[in-house]
Chain A
Amino acid sequence: MPILEAKGISFGYGHHTPFEKQAVRNVSFSVEKGECLAVIGHTGSGKSTLMQMLNGLLKPEEGQVLLNGEDINRSKKTAAAARFRVGLCFQYPEYQLFGETSAEDIAFGPKNMGLAADEIRRRVKDAASIVGLPEEKLSVSPFDLSGGQKRRCAIAGVIAMEPEILILDEPIAGLDPAGREEILDLIRRYRAENGATVIIVTHSMETAAEIADRVLVLDRGSVALTGTPAEIFSDPEKLNSIGLDVPSFTRIIAAIRKAGVPVEDAYTLSAAADVLSSLWKGGRAT
């Protein structure tokens, strides 16, 4: 049984006004335990609305969200509990920091869960170590952290709830390459250590290629494509038609193949470098 399943969910804003908008339309998909799913789509594709339905913040107007096979909207209580079981970290989460100290900010979620003080302390410490926030930074104001640290502190605030599924909405937006690599490392580490289920919302194909087991492409509120990164990127025309690019490595490999050189598929930097270098070395051997 999948850990999380969306069954034909829809949601719209501003009904009966000129600004009416159907944000999500009849979306179905499932996530297996331990999997990393990337949800791709450009701004306005309904990504954020979809994510808020997965953790019970928004109630689908149609369809169901099943967590371990049970509808999270059975009752108000289960919907509220779903927020802790499906941890959702919003875009630019550093703009939501408010605690006097980083530790207090990270503890906000666990406190709302009504946990004991000891347990909260343990979770804050664990979450901080997962995101790589140095211990001495826990006692300083989150506003005194560097840009990248602020983002990691905010993510720790969600991880500290120890959710069964972690959803990160555009976790690398607005970061420079070093900051981005830190966040991607953090996600890899979190998955490796906890066998955690992660959903990443992004508009970067490169990020999806690097980190996801499976990709879901959203277009104007509906599922346009779904599959492994290899499957998704093997159809560049389809992606282009919805205004998305395949990673440039995929394009380069495709161009080389088009020139008559048989070459394996690759869609990440290291894979492409491996494929091309072995091709070149192979050529030299003959």
Chain B
Amino acid sequence: MIKDITIGQFFPGQSFIHKLDPRAKIVLLIVYIVTLFLCKSFFSLALMLAFAITAVLLSRVSPKMIWKSMKAIVILLVFTAVLQIVYNDKGDVLWKPFENSSFAVTTGGVYAAVFLIVRICALILLTSLLTYTTSATLLTDAIEKLLSPLKLLRIPVHSLAMMMTIALRFIPTLLREIDIIMSAQKARGAMLDSGGLGQRLKALTSVFVPLLVSSFRRAAELATAMECRCYTDGANRTRMRRMRFTWRDLVAALTLAAFAAAVIFTSFYPIAQTLIFQPVIT
């Protein structure tokens, strides 16, 4: 059900993670993701997962909500895992179901599948944590700040950020609206989840047209309201919240740096690799 979507939701709080500077959070997330893709061993991957889980625990966001955001990608995970198992033929053969074909489940395939799943989970975990602990406005403000050098290239960074704020603000509104329109058309027998292609297309029109009409109306009304509230091009707007780097950001940055160093060390130095764990090259 559309109402159950939680991605992009914000849970207000006062935790260590909430109090980090949003700019720091974005940069750290990018560093984290890059490091995640440098991981070559299970040990380094476990380190990164531990980092993500610690961050989640520090944020005090309910694990249930985290689980909900993960649930949405379970199908994707299963799919990629199956692909890895089917197409990877490195390592020892574990199971050969068909005598005549070359298809076989190998250790390499299973390792790669597990590796991929853990990697994607860690990625989703920390990315959703960013949106769970940072309000949309702060997030876009931070992106605007981080991208401000682009203003020199005459890219309208502020307008883009404003568009993003508004888009994020209207996502729940539009989702609810879609839900209502869909229910209303279903009440008139619209074949939204059954019937042939033609019927479905017709049924989709019955949702799409009203949605478009109302979106245009909303856009026009919002523009008037913003004008009324003295919004011009927004170039010189001040902000209620000043973003400041604090000791927290320093602690977070140093911790991540330590983890990243460990990952790079274990992944790229052969001695460390043989000492700690067998590498998995996918």
**Residues of A at under 8 Å CB distance from B?**
13-14, 16-18, 52, 55, 57, 80, 83-84, 87-90, 93, 95-98, 108-109, 112-113, 143, 157-158, 161
Contacts and interface: CB of A to CB of B under 8 A. Distances in A.
* Nearest 6 CB-CB pairings of A with B: A112-B189, A98-B209, A109-B188, A90-B184, A88-B187, A96-B184
Given A13-B3, A17-B4, A95 B187 contact: no
Given A55-B187, A109-B188, 15 more contacts: A14-B4, A17-B4, A18-B62, A18-B65, A52-B187, A80-B189, A83-B186, A83-B187, A84-B189, A88-B187, A98-B205, A98-B206, A108-B188, A109-B189, A143-B213
Given A95-B210, A98-B210, A143-B213, A17 B65 contact: yes
B190 interface: yes
A97 B181 CA distance: 10
Given A17-B65, A18-B65, A90-B184, A96 B190 contact: no
23 contacts: A14-B3, A14-B4, A17-B68, A18-B11, A52-B183, A52-B187, A80-B194, A83-B187, A88-B184, A89-B187, A90-B184, A95-B210, A96-B181, A96-B185, A96-B210, A97-B210, A108-B188, A109-B188, A112-B189, A112-B190, A143-B213, A158-B187, A161-B189
B183 A157 contact: no
A95 B64 contact: no
Given A13-B3, A95-B181, A87 B68 contact: no
Contacts of A95: 181, 210, 213-214
Contact of A90 (B4, B6, B180, B190): B180
Nearest to B67: A16
B191 interface: yes
Nearest to B1: A13
Nearest to B3: A13
A161 B188 contact: yes
Contacts of A98: 205-206, 208-210
A52 B209 CA distance: 23
A196 B56 CA distance: 58
Contacts of A90: 180, 183-184, 187
A113 B194 CA distance: 13
Nearest to A52: B183
